[in-house]
Amino acid sequence: MSETRTDSAQTAAAGIDYRRRQRLSRLAQKLVIFLCSVVLAFYVLAPISWLVSSAFQTEAEIVSVPPHWIPENPTVKNFTAIFGATEDEEITYETRSGVDPAAGGFIPSTAKDLPKAMWNSILVATLVVILNLLVGVPAAYAIAKIRYWGRNGSVYFILTTRVIPDIALVVPFFLVIRKLGLLDTISSLVITYLAVTVPFTVFILMQYFEGLPDELDKAARVDGCSRFQALIRVFLPLSMPSIVAVVLFTFLTSWNEFLLALMFTQTSASQTLPILLAAFTSDFTVSFSFLNAAGVLAIVPPVIVAIIFERYIVSGLTAGAVKG
């Protein structure tokens, strides 16, 4: 006790307040973290803020210097052009959007197709997710838990399909789709997206299933479960993080996919959102304002999906990264 007092006295005598120093150090650390967080948040949020802000600006306001982060003359005409169109009206010389002053000369005439394209994208992405799980979960379970001849070979084969670039698959896919008579249909996208996403799904789930103890499988079988029941009742509930990762991956891949959709779709009946968004930049005109309004709508579904599965995302993304 007396020694401690002596130390304090010596420290005080030396004029060094270590506690204060420690407090200042912690404060500085927090300040640095806070500033970094602010910079990071700005870096991430600024483009999205500009996307949303400019969606409500006129084209003239968008190109103003300095830029207006808060619109001075906000307008919703981009959204009116998207949602205000009547769907079934026959397009004639009189009804074409080019002569409709309300549409504005720089709003693409295909603006009214955007809800349809969104629906196509949602439909394709949802079907791909469902079919991925239907195919991928049993396949991954079989590879992970059933020992059979050629197991390693099948794993390597599945992995091999992942290293082939999409561009190399375009023409073969095109020939198959054309032979099937599926050009310009939603089905063509679902089939080809499955070919791209199923290997990843199987790989991720297989890694996760392998991490689960074999004893679980054996216990389920002893209790009378068939293989299928063991998968459904035991393994699936334990694999939610990896299932969510797969759902997110396949949904976002399908949602954003461009190359195959470009090749296989031709009309608004099957065109997905990325194709329509790209088509808004024609060789004649482009409206940043309208493009950004369409961009705002395009990010809504993925954001909703991310919010729903948010609590699983981090654990799901690392699923299969290491063997447990």
Partner 1 sequence: MSEQKSLLLGRRDFLRTSAAASALSLAAPARLAFAQDAPINMQTWSAAVDTVQSHINAFEKETGLVVSYGNSPWAQYREGMVAKFVGGAPLDMMWVSDSWLPEWAEAGWISPVDEFESLMKYNDEAEQFCTDSMTYKGRQYGLTYYTDFMAFLYDEEKLTAAGFDAPPESWEELVQQSLVMKEKGISEYPMMLAMAQESWLIEFMASLVYSHGGRFTDENGDAIMHEDEAGAVEALQWVVDAVNKHGVISPACVETGELSGLKAFASGNHAFAMVAKYRLRMLNDPEQSQVAGNVKQAMMPKGPGGEHATVGWMRFHGMATQAAQDQQRAENTARLIEWFGGKANGEYKFQKLLFLDIGAGFGVKPLFDDPDVQAAYDAYGDVEIIQKQQALAKKKDVVTPWFGEWNETNGAAWQSAILGNSDVRAALKKSAAKWDELKASY
Binding interface with partner 1 (CB under 8 A): 58-60, 63-65, 90-93, 95-99, 104-106, 108-110, 170-171, 174-175, 178, 180-185, 187, 191, 226, 228, 262-263, 265-267, 275, 278-288
Shortest spacing between CB 96 and partner 1, in angstroms:
4
- Alpha carbons 207 and 156: distance in angstroms, whole number: 13
- Alpha carbons 235 and 216: distance in angstroms, whole number: 8
- Alpha carbons 240 and 314: distance in angstroms, whole number: 12
Instruction: Return the ∠ at Cα 95 (arms to 89 and 100), rounded to 5°.
Output: 125
Tokens 């799904």 appear where? 201
> Which two three-digit tokens encode residue 324?
């447990």
Q: For partner 1, give the closer residue by CB, 92 or 152.
A: 92
Shortest spacing between CB 65 and partner 1, in angstroms:
5
- Alpha carbons 222 and 220: distance in angstroms, whole number: 5
Shortest spacing between CB 58 and partner 1, in angstroms:
6
Shortest spacing between CB 117 and partner 1, in angstroms:
12
Q: For partner 1, give the closer residue by CB, 216 or 279.
A: 279
Residue 87 is classified by DSSP as S
Shortest spacing between CB 190 and partner 1, in angstroms:
8
The DSSP line for 283-322 is: SS---HHHHHHHHHHHHHHHHHHHHHTHHHHHHHHTTTTS
> Which two three-digit tokens encode residue 243?
């299932």
Q: For partner 1, give the closer residue by CB, 100 or 210.
A: 100
Shortest spacing between CB 261 and partner 1, in angstroms:
9
- Alpha carbons 64 and 239: distance in angstroms, whole number: 52
Q: For partner 1, give the closer residue by CB, 82 or 245.
A: 82
Q: For partner 1, give the closer residue by CB, 3 or 283.
A: 283
Shortest spacing between CB 81 and partner 1, in angstroms:
12
By C-alpha distance, which of 248, 249, 224 is closest to 307? 248
Q: How many CB atoms lie within 10 A of CB 244?
A: 21
Contacts of 171 (CB under 8 A, 6+ apart): none
Q: For partner 1, give the closer residue by CB, 107 or 296.
A: 107
Q: For partner 1, give the closer residue by CB, 138 or 211.
A: 138
